Chains A and B, each alone.
Chain A
Amino acid sequence: KAGVTQTPRYLIKTRGQQVTLSCSPISGHRSVSWYQQTPGQGLQFLFEYFSETQRNKGNFPGRFSGRQFSNSRSEMNVSTLELGDSALYLCASRSSGVTTEAFFGQGTRLTVV
């Protein structure tokens, strides 16, 4: 079956702009989480959605937001982009809210110039 699909794969934006990233989880999976990966900080948890509700949020500013649709697809939005937002953004899906095994997508590489 198809894996986790993230679009777009690469993105270049200018400081101050906003960006929306998309994640389609594995078919049947209801939990989607987002992570930011940078060389300096590694993988950091952004937020988790389950059945359209945000269940957990990491320590990121309010410029980072997300949502989940009824078909479990998720989007994350970053407003007023800063240079430090340049990173690989990874989406992970799980089949339910109690399993731990998470399947990651290939990520969206965001560059802010």
Chain B
Amino acid sequence: QKEVEQDPGPLSVPEGAIVSLNCTYSNSAFQYFMWYRQYSRKGPELLMYTYSSGNKEDGRFTAQVDKSSKYISLFIRDSQPSDSATYLCAMSGREGAQKLVFGQGTRLTINP
């Protein structure tokens, strides 16, 4: 069993829809949680970074962490075709730890 599980999709939704992306994990030592966006033929780009449990909002993006359930989510409101990409969750056990453990990535397509 992988430390981080993420449904690879693909996920296809109409423009303007609310998108929900999720990851589950098994290692209770994880404290730092990140979401990256990766466009085709590009490197991952950091979208959101959260510590421990709680919510964080940045524009149309909201990240949620539920450590008791070992479950994290990324919500995208008012989705746009430019949001079409692969979304990767990543986590680490201590601040500064460069050994990030990634989910498989979910391929998302927003249809105009």
Taking beta carbons and an 8 Å cutoff, which residues of A are in contact with B? 4, 31, 33, 35, 42-45, 48, 55-56, 58, 90, 92, 94, 96-107
In the bound assembly, the distance between CA atoms of A106 and B100 in angstroms comes to 18
Closest residue of chain A to B34 (Cβ to Cβ) is A100
Interface residues on B, range: 20 to 34
**Chain B residues proximal to chain A, CB less than 8 Å:** 32, 34, 36, 41-46, 49, 88, 90, 92, 95-105
Inter-subunit contact B88/A98 (CB<8 Å): no
Interface of A is mostly: strand
Instruction: Pick from B32, B43, B45, B99: contact of A45, CB below 8 A.
Output: B99
Contact of B96 among A90, A92, A98, A105 (CB under 8 A): A98
Q: B4 to nearest A CB, angstroms? A: 9
**Whole-angstrom CA separation of A98 from B104 in the bound complex:** 26
Partner of A100 from B32, B42, B101 at Cβ < 8 Å: B32
